[in-house]
Amino acid sequence: MPNQLRSLADRTERDHLVTVRVIPFEAGAHVGLIDPFTLLEFEAGLPDVVFLDANRSAVMISGDDPRVAEFAEDFEELIEDALSVEESIKLMRSVADDMS
């Protein structure tokens, strides 16, 4: 796991297409703990899509379904709870060092 954390930190530093934001334990409970989800936001008029991973199945929500907007709000809340990219990298490196 220390090598995985270092790899994530390295990739986040060198690849502008990768962003890692860590929500520390100290932040407490947050909406990301309820159900894992993936939010895909598109440009050029394409509808946003949410994928829900539910045990042995998956659900896709797209288009004008109001739940897509709810998940987008949840994602914004997660961003507010998360450390900055720089703080996240520092934390990942610190945890990796502690585990080594």
Kindly list the averaged pLDDT for each block of 10 residues, start to end, along the chain of length 100: 96 95 93 89 91 86 92 95 97 96
Tell me the residue type at 73. Answer: E
- Residue 64: what pLDDT? 86
Q: Which two tokens stand for residue 16?
A: 């502008």
pLDDT of residue 55: 77
pLDDT at 56: 82
CA distances from 57 to 34, 53, 54 (A): 16, 6, 5
If one counts every other C-beta atom within 10 angstroms of the C-beta of residue 94, the result is: 12
d(CA 47, CA 24): 32
**Please, are residues 4 and 100 in contact by the beta-carbon 8 Å criterion?**
no
- pLDDT at position 54 is 78
| CA dist 97 → 23, 33, 66 (Å) | 19, 26, 43
